[in-house]
């Protein structure tokens, strides 16, 4: 019996991943470099798998003023992100989970100083019974399962009675390693990637009500 749902944040609740990639892609272009999509995709949902600064410096053949580059990239990222809204179906799933009496958690590879202000700005923080980020688990990001393990522990449920919603293969692998069921909800950055680890894949949370989705998932046990 499903007792809880656990949401990723970046790329699942808010499409921060497109703005992140675009701001880096534009930064590379300023210095005459190119950021391949396939290299970027390998790091989506994870931390530390790819260093864009080192990769860019290799392309241009010199050291860069990283503080200045980062300041300008962040400015552009914030500009792009300001145009983003909560992804389709997210608020409905949160409301339906609350109506169904399910525990609601969040497990993110980002840090609280990124996730918490966004949740507050979007008016979503009150939905969550437990919010865990990588700084709660020794800075371990996905595909390490630590943040999912912390989330189900915080919700007081067994991992096998919880469902994770993820937009990235790294996130799906983390959820499965922690013992949760996993529903993949790819975004425009991840829709062409493989989600072999997920139990179910849907195009959007707006495609069907949460109760119907959970019934579909139960049929895969």
Q: Is 118 helix (H, G, I), strand (E, B) or coil?
A: helix
* Under 8 Å between Cβ of 50 and 39: yes
The closest alpha carbon to 16, from 189, 195, 196, 207, belongs to 189
Q: Give strand pairing partners of 132.
A: 107
8 is catalytic: yes
Q: What are the Cα distances from residue 166, in Å, to 56, 161, 191, 205, 217?
A: 29, 16, 12, 11, 15
199 is catalytic: no
Catalytic residues: 8, 10
């Amino acid at each position: 019996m499903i007792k809880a749902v656990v949401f990723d944040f970046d790329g699942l609740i808010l499409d921060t991943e497109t703005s992140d990639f675009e701001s880096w892609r534009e930064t590379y272009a300023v210095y005459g470099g190119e950021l391949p999509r396939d290299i970027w995709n390998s790091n989506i949902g994870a931390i530390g798998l790819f260093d864009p600064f080192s990769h860019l410096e290799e392309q241009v053949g010199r050291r860069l003023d990283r503080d200045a580059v980062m300041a300008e990239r962040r400015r552009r990222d914030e500009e792009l992100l300001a145009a983003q809204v909560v992804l389709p179906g997210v608020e409905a799933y949160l409301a339906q989970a609350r109506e169904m009496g399910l525990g609601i958690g969040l497990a993110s590879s980002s840090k609280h100083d990124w996730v918490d202000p966004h949740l507050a700005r979007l008016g979503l923080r009150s939905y969550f019974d437990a919010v865990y980020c990588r700084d709660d688990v020794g800075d371990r990001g996905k595909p390490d399962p630590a943040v999912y393990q912390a989330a189900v522990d915080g919700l007081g449920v067994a991992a096998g009675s919880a469902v994770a919603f993820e937009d990235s293969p790294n996130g799906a692998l983390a959820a499965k390693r922690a013992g949760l069921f996993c529903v993949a909800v790819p975004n425009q950055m991840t829709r062409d990637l493989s989600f072999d680890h997920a139990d179910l894949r849907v195009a959007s949370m707006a495609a069907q009500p949460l109760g119907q989705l959970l019934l579909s998932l139960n049929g895969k046990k």
